[in-house]
Chains A and B, each alone.
Chain A
């Protein structure tokens, strides 16, 4: 089959690889119909995540048709399912508490050591990410093996297009979880840093969860415009002093909750960020938490800090005193996707959530390598890329029609 494989920093390729097979009784094999490139795939692409190996298949946002099942899978051949990016056993202490992303069993014993050393505890597994998180092949491929298929995948009704439900795999629940973690109260102003796909879904979710006002911060005009369409007030940090603007817009109090949808590769021309970038390139530091530093300063006293953005290790110059003196609450973590998929699918079916507005490109899987580069270099026009492995077989004329590139 064809699959997008990692070969090194800024080097991904669509290769021919063997087809996946059923290995354990709870497995299922999917024929992938849609798979997206995630913002966190860029952390892999940029070489920021340790324990990647050349040849690893990427992709953790995918859905498809069940084509094979193990003896203990509850899925049936022919079902359309969306698969959470987190692999969860459904029966450990953490899964029982619905902390699915902390699953204690999905990461094989041999690949658990690294994260146990680095983080103190072995992390749960995920598809198509580093060997820290299990080393399972991802879904930017024609087929994918889904372990614990009786726990993760959610069957979707045929009348909902792929584009409407695909993001149940990661970014929609991640944006939702980010807003849940912000513990929004009536009258609250929520500030969201980063208007990528997760940021945009966090904005939409914050309104759904009762935010009075959402302020979005970014520097890509088209992404800010998408935030504006969702009802957010927008700040381009190249135009305004963000800290002053946030204070002015909130009567001096500051936002009640702040959400970091930026993560470890923050942009911004500030002295702390330049030093972090230098350290990252010298391999003596991984984090560039410029945005996170700023949002801790911005957050009101006694406010909430929600961090869905991905970080990988130790950060310097973390405003710990500010966190303590202002009495902030921090909530973070990989999203326990399985906790939210059912409710969010209902909201999609009822038309309560728009899940397609950010898709800027629908492209064949064969073009994935080039699209990674575009996703990395042209973030203003590429707001979300969905790969369609099925497009590869279609004649050229159909392709153009099928792409339906929406203006951002």
Chain B
């Protein structure tokens, strides 16, 4: 992939993360560098996941078919929607057309169409998610907070506790459904003070996880652009599936919320919660309600 992105270090790094993923997938085996091992998706499991989705899709379309006969109005609506969908698909195909090297000065997690397919392998759960926010604090201060890792539970969803092992390694205790917890050991693989922290999970972790946070100077007076890039790989086994359900249903939502809470904590000193009374039974006025 040819990029001209010298002014966007974060995007370049994202591209690098992606390229590695593509290479790994092409080889069908983890990369040579032992530090960056990512367990491979179990072939059987992947088949099963897609089977389940097919069944679901089938059911949905059958339901749609039976109710459309009931009302002429609805039938007409569906016909219109169908025609619109056909025209849209046609237009979209043309829209996705461009080939060749990327022209856009944008990070890989906002790519679409063919550009996305070229940049990234399409395995489920392997997709890169990312999000950028502006935080009105200097990069050094934000970097220092993040580098401590121990305070992640204050703003990261599902992360119950971070246990420090040594300066680059820590164990994350992550909440799984039904009160269970999962442990992920991570190791910092890149550490540029005030700029970048990147980490990967150790091979014996129950979840394969890669993360990267970038701090770049925002326009004058606006603080720092903070970009979080996350990638999870579906783990094997029963507990793995449960965890995957929590972590991977919407990894982009998680990245968005975690980063938003980080911003809130850094700018206001607290993570706002809407905890307050309501007329709903069993709700506590000190617990957030969503």
Chain A residues at the B interface, C-beta cutoff of 8 Å: 1, 3, 5, 7, 13, 15, 17-21, 23-26, 53-57, 72, 89-93, 96, 104-113, 116, 122, 125, 131, 134-137, 141, 144-145, 147-148
Contact = CB atoms under 8 A, between A and B. Distances in A.
A54 B280 contact: yes
B5 interface: no
Interface stretch (B78-86, B140-148, B256-264): B256-264
A93 B264 CA distance: 12
Contacts of A105: 263-264, 267-268, 272
Interface of B: 134, 136, 222-223, 253, 256-258, 260-261, 263-264, 267-280, 283-286, 288-290
B221 to A, nearest CB: 9
B265 to A, nearest CB: 9
Contact of A57 (B136, B263, B279, B284): B279
Contacts, number: 123
29 contacts: A5-B279, A7-B279, A13-B279, A17-B277, A21-B285, A23-B275, A23-B276, A24-B272, A53-B278, A55-B278, A56-B278, A56-B279, A57-B276, A57-B277, A90-B268, A92-B136, A92-B267, A105-B264, A106-B272, A109-B271, A110-B290, A112-B260, A131-B290, A135-B289, A136-B274, A137-B276, A137-B277, A145-B275, A148-B268
Contacts of B261: 109
Contacts of A108: 271-274, 288, 290
A13 B280 CA distance: 12
A91 B289 CA distance: 25
A232 to B, nearest CB: 40
Contacts of A147: 272
Contacts of A93: 134, 136, 222-223
Nearest to A106: B272
B267 A57 contact: no
Q: Chain A contact residues: over half helix, strand or loop, or mixed?
A: loop
Contact of B264 (A7, A109, A134): A109
A19 B285 contact: yes
A96 B137 CA distance: 13
Contacts of B258: 109
Contacts of A109: 256-258, 260-261, 264, 271
A141 B271 CA distance: 25
Given A93-B222, A111-B274, A136-B274, A54 B279 contact: yes
Contacts of B267: 89, 91-92, 104-105
B47 to A, nearest CB: 32
Contact of B270 (A20, A26, A131, A137): A26
B219 to A, nearest CB: 11
Contacts of B274: 108, 111, 125, 134-137
Contacts of A21: 275, 285-286
Across the A-B interface, the 6 shortest Cβ-Cβ residue pairs: A137-B276, A55-B279, A55-B280, A5-B279, A109-B257, A109-B260
Contacts of A111: 274, 290
A91 B277 contact: no
Contacts of A145: 275-277, 285
A105 B259 CA distance: 12
A295 B17 CA distance: 54
A252 to B, nearest CB: 45
B270 A135 contact: no
Contact of B283 (A3, A7, A55, A144): A55
A20 B285 contact: yes
Counting chain A CB atoms within 10 Å of each CB, which of B136, B263, B264 scores highest?
A: B264
A106 B263 CA distance: 11
Nearest to B270: A24
Contacts of A131: 290
A147 B286 CA distance: 12
Nearest to B265: A105
Contacts of B285: 18-21, 137, 145
A80 to B, nearest CB: 21
Contacts of B271: 108-109
B220 to A, nearest CB: 13
B273 A23 contact: yes
Nearest to B275: A23
A110 B288 CA distance: 9
Contact of A1 (B257, B263, B277, B288): B277
Nearest to A4: B279
B260 to A, nearest CB: 4
Nearest to B133: A104
Contacts of A112: 257, 260
B279 A3 contact: yes
A400 to B, nearest CB: 30
Contacts of A91: 136, 267-268
A107 B273 CA distance: 8
A3 B136 contact: no
B139 to A, nearest CB: 16
B278 A57 contact: yes
A49 to B, nearest CB: 16
Contacts of B289: 135
A125 B270 contact: no
Contacts of A134: 272, 274
A115 to B, nearest CB: 12
Given A55-B278, A109-B264, 10 more contacts: A17-B277, A20-B285, A26-B269, A55-B283, A57-B276, A72-B269, A112-B260, A135-B290, A137-B274, A137-B278
Contacts of B275: 21, 23, 145
Counting chain A CB atoms within 10 Å of each CB, which of B136, B260, B263, B286 scores highest?
A: B260
A17 B279 contact: yes
Nearest to A16: B279
Contact of A17 (B256, B270, B278, B286): B278
